[in-house]
Amino acid sequence: MTLEIHRGDDPSLELVRLSRGDGTETLDNVERDRVRIRLHDLPPETPTAVSSGDDLVGSAFRDPDGDLHGASHWQVALSCAGFDDPVFDHWQQHEDRFGGQDLAAGVDLTRQAVTGLSADTDHCWRVRYRDRGLSWSAWSEGEGYRTPQ
């Protein structure tokens, strides 16, 4: 792991994780992770609920600093006032490395399938986005929907 400290008008820390491999694969300092945390990082724009059909769909990711989409956090509750005790609470990272593979490759962070909810029941959902500088947006407004029968 390396750590760089950047001073000046835009101070930041940059962490880089290098790999030498494991018991089955030999590597020569291959970069596995890189994250830059800025003191003055602006959070992503607050997403909006776009649709709630088979999947929940949030608006496109937008970040005023130009950071990339790092994660999404989805919650479903029985009412828009009930997010203290959600019936579904899931967050998805842009990357999930395990066994030499990225298990999150191709995942759309603006779309979330929801399973395990009671049928024919009113619910409310919301989403927030995190940039790769680790700043979270505010939660979207709660959006009501009814699960299919």
Tell me, what CATH number does 142's domain have?
2.60.40.10
Range of the domain at 35: 1-40
Q: Any long-range contacts for 83-88 (C-beta under 8 Å, 24+ apart)?
A: 83/124, 83/126, 83/139, 83/142, 87/117, 87/123, 88/114, 88/116, 88/117, 88/125
| Claim to verify: residue 70 and residue 33 sit in the same structural domain | no
Q: What is the number of structural domains in the chain?
A: 2
Which pTM does this prediction carry?
0.83
Lowest mean pLDDT of 2-6, 25-29, 140-144, name the range: 25-29
Q: Are residues 49 and 29 part of one domain?
A: no
Token digits for 129?
């986005």
114 and 50 in a common domain: yes
Q: Which residue has the higher pLDDT, 27 or 58?
A: 58
Q: Are residues 90 and 128 located together in one domain of the fold? A: yes
List pLDDT tens digits, range 69-94. Answer: 999 999 999 999 989 999 999 999 99
Model pLDDT, residue 47? 98
